[in-house]
Amino acid sequence: MDCLFCRIVSGEVPATKVFENERLIAFNDINPAAPLHLLVVPREHVATLNALESRHDALVGEMTRVAAMLAEERGYAERGYRAVLNCNSDAGQTVFHIHLHVLAGRRLGWPPG
């Protein structure tokens, strides 16, 4: 399958990994939009949020908890951070393997552009 994040999961494409376990990896975004910009990615290929099934509930929960853990480890728990899942074109999804963005280190505008 021609999927960039599957290639990062397999190690075929390098990334600066900051966390991994049996189900997830997290790595630095190549084009950071904030001083901290991590992507938390399941090893399983799920193209968009639209493809989630009930069997993924624990996986998505773990993605969120790992995002919070990584932000906390880096000192952003108190001042805050944002965790974002983009789905399809109106949200600007460009890589069709779900990933949770973790953004921190600057004031983030709301509503998003």
Residue 6 touches which of ligand 5GP, Zn ion, none (Cβ within 5-8 Å per kind): Zn ion
Active site residue 101: no
Q: Rule CB under 5 A: is residue 6 a binding residue for Zn ion?
A: yes
Residue 83 touches which of ligand 5GP, Zn ion, none (Cβ within 5-8 Å per kind): none
Q: Produce one character per residue of 74-83: b if its CB has 16 or more CB atoms within 10 Å, e if not.
A: bebeeeebbb
User: What DSSP letter does each residue of 95-113 carry, written as one string?
Assistant: SSS--EEEEESSPPPSS--
- Positions that interact with Zn ion (CB under 5 A): 3, 5-6, 45, 97
Catalytic residues: 99
